[in-house]
Structure 1
């Protein structure tokens, strides 16, 4: 299954702070039109298990999400565009 991430939430509303973890992801399955919101751990497992999640910018460029774990064991997602880590997730709007 493949989903497009459409928005994010961070605890405390620190949307632009790259050091504050994303707590929720809003998404849409563009094939079925199903939508939902998932917490960070659920989305990490989804990607880690081989499902595809991605971000699409206004020009149609796609950046896929990869599941990462930091040195303290915190699981998080990061986008990769053209083989390079990027911060496409922070460019997304806040989920309502």
Structure 2
């Protein structure tokens, strides 16, 4: 069974395309320590059933899924919830050593 993990922050690239905007995601462990990982590692963890990421915002919880462009580029984004915005891209920027 996949470990359910809340994403609290992201790191972005300088690219303008939404599906290339995230380079890392981050959060906090149960002991308060910080974690972060590359987007491609998070994608692999979702696809292999290791992790199930989610985001909380505005009283709503949205799961993070692997999406794919018509050209085959995989990226992370939230599923549909009560908002039309991608909740993942709306998260704060992660500091160098992980999430706040």
TM-score if structure 2 supplies the norm length? Answer: 0.74
| 1:1-96 matched pairs, under 5 angstroms | 1-12=3-14, 18=18, 20-30=20-30, 33=32, 35-50=34-49, 51-59=51-59, 61-82=60-81, 86-96=85-95
How many residue pairs align between the two structures? 92
Give the RMSD, CA atoms, in angstroms: 2.6
Flag the structure with more relative contact order, 1 or 2, with Cα contacts below 8 A and sequence separation at least 6. 2
Higher helix share: 1
Point out where structure 1 has 5 or more consecutive residues left out of the alignment. Answer: none
Runs ≥4 in structure 1, deviation > 6 angstroms?
Answer: none
Q: TM-score, normalised by structure 1?
A: 0.76
